[in-house]
Amino acid sequence: MPTGAFYTGKYPNLFTELGISQDKIDEKIKDTFNRMFFDMEEKIYFEIGNEGNDMGYMLDTGNNDARTEGMSYGMMMAVQMDRKDIFDRLWLFSKTYMYQSSGKYQGYFAWSVGLDGTKNAEGPAPDGEEYFAMALFFAGKRWGDRERPFDYSIQARDILRHCIHQAELVEGGEPMWDRNNHYIKFVPETPFSDPSYHLPHFYELFALLADEQDRPFWQKAAEASRSYLHISCDKGTGMAPEYAEFDGTPKKLFHEGQFYSDAYRVAMNIGLDAAWFHKDESLGEIVDDLQAFFSERTVLGEYYSYTVQGEPLGEPAMHPVAIIAANAAGSLAAKGKYRLQWVRDFWELPLRKGVRRYYDNCLYFFCLLMLAGEYRIY
């Protein structure tokens, strides 16, 4: 019988294993959220609109745009923190400026828009859609469905319907998941994947909440994604490539670095899957290898772009805080000797400041919630 919180209702709190009090944990979560959303110098959330600032966006501070990645992340943060006001602003911005109402991408969301809502691209990024859907389902459970577009669960089902049935729904459309192997694609048109997009813990819930006829697909997707993580992560270092072929082979796409920004998320995804469902204990061995590599072969925070075999490529990591946070969250699945040391290092790590703070701090907050047992299923 799986022992994850979905079955037991008990969410592991690794900070308490270090002897940190619940009051200090709660205070850190509240302070981190407030700094990311409201501190005038550090925030990445901004409100806009004509009727009492009825919309908001998450700013990618390194690229000066709003992305479905960040918008859906912000919605998930808001629903976890019970901030319906923030959630609704982010969702209204997404539906107003990112949603595609025509063409081959109808039903998807443009992955990047300017801060005035002008689309920078037409195509979607599937990690945005899966986070949108999960956050919307949770919102429906926490707050109840209302009038459009705040009929959260209905909106979530529509997103997932397009994700796997786009070819039937829209002329010239391509689905975000491969219908044969059940893998999520990097973008709809590509016959390869991004390991960090694989969220089996989300798919387990989609298998209960999506259109009834699609629920078997999502259950198979959960199983396939766990298997894919095994074949795409290096057997020695535990590193996942940023992009990978369907057979797990690393794919060099935009740069030489294989273990690069997207790939950092794999460890935290494995950790959350273990915390929620714990259906594949052996995934924790990937995190054990990853933590051992960084603990034994690097200096904390002085990281680079690497091949998946762990060879540094000379380019400093753009998001070192994200590496520490995600490796620590992987401790929810790990059993190795470095497991609690990573949690301790993360606890002592401050939020990132400056122009590249967006990605690091998004992962930071998610990992903080995970390790505190406060990233909940609704």
Q: Is 273 labeled as catalytic in the residue annotation?
A: no
Classify residue 46 by its DSSP letter. E
Q: Residue 175 phi/psi, 5° resolution?
A: -75, 160
Note the helical H segments in the chain: 5-8, 14-17, 22-37, 68-80, 84-93, 126-143, 152-169, 200-209, 215-232, 265-276, 284-297, 320-329, 339-347, 357-371
**Catalytic entry in 42, 65, 69, 234:** 69
* Catalytic residue from among 130, 194, 262, 273: 262
Dihedral angle of Cα 329, 333, 336, 341, to the nearest 10 degrees: 20
Type of residue numbered 313: L
Active site residue 245: no
Could you tell me the two tokens for 83?
A: 């901030």
Those residues whose C-beta lies under 8 Å from the C-beta of residue 60, and which sit 6 or more positions away, are 44, 66, 67, 70, 358, 359
Provide DSSP, 236-277.
TT-PPPSSEETTS-B---SSS-SB-GGGGHHHHHHHHHHHHT
Inter-CA distances, 319 with 40, 156, 246, 285, 287, Å: 22, 31, 26, 24, 19
Report whether 371 contacts 343 (CB < 8 A).
yes
CB neighbourhood size of 35 (10 A): 18
Cα pseudo-dihedral 60, 191, 201, 110, rounded to 10: 30
Question: In terms of Cα–Cα distance, which of 87, 88, 128 is closest to 107?
Answer: 128
Q: Which residue matches tokens 């933590």?
A: 291
Q: How far apart are the first and last CA of the chain?
A: 21
Residue with structure tokens 């959350």? 272
Catalytic positions, please?
69, 262
